[in-house]
Structure 1
Amino acid sequence: MTFSLVLTEERLYAKEHCCSEMSEQVNMSALDAKSPLLGSTDKRIYWSPVFNEYGLICQPSAEVLQIQHCPFCGVRLPESRRDQWFERLESKGWKTWGDPIPNELLSHEWK
């Protein structure tokens, strides 16, 4: 079981995903109830633009269980870019979570 990593300063980015149901969940912006870390408690799917990871939001906790297939259409989701992101981050001198993360690495365009 792998949990998704949620970067609190990650920039949001709306896009079309594998199917309309996934796009609706991931791009949800009408937030009725709030979770301090993840936004709407109506939202059930988390997508990280930085890592290109998808996950099921486990409410009421702030845990996100990483998924490899769309729960709506069954298509295989793209590979995570988490390992490549950490390699790039470390190449910039980053050592620990106390170190600042460069702004260019908090966007989906970092690659």
Structure 2
Amino acid sequence: MKKHCCEDMAYHVNFKCDVHENPFECPDKIIIFDEKDNDYGLIIHDGGSSTLEIIFCPWCGSKLQ
């Protein structure tokens, strides 16, 4: 069973930056996945650690659990 809805989502969830240790500091890290709650969020790059929960995949349109 696939863990994420599509290859694009899997890529962005698993993206690891070589420069930034903190995902909230990396401009290339745009999706965060909370394995505990099974929630997806868009990272708000405003200098903090804010996210915006999403319920549909931005790439394939699938409903996220």
TM superposition score normalised by structure 2: 0.80
Q: Which amino acid aligns with 1:56?
A: L
Matched, 1:52 2:23: no
Matched, 1:76 2:63: yes
Kept in 2: contact 1:32–1:40 (CA 8 A): no
> Which residue of structure 2 aligns with residue 32 of structure 1?
18
Q: One-letter code of the match for 1:25? A: H
- Paired residues in the alignment total 62
> Based on CA coordinates, which of the two structures has the bigger radius of gyration?
1
State the distance in 1 between where 2:24 and 2:44 align.
13
C-alpha separation between the residues in 2 aligned to 1:63 and 1:45? 11
Q: What's 2:9 paired with?
A: 22
In 1, the alpha carbon distance for the partners of 2:32 and 2:60 equals 16
Alpha-carbon distance in 2 for matches of 1:33, 1:40: 10
Sequence identity, in percent?
37
List, as ranges, runs of 4+ consecutive aligned residues in structure 1 with deviation greater than 3 Å.
Answer: none
Q: Provide structure 2 residue ranges, at least 5 long, that are not aligned to the other structure.
A: none
Provide the aligned C-alpha RMSD in A.
2.0
TM-score, normalising length: structure 1: 0.49
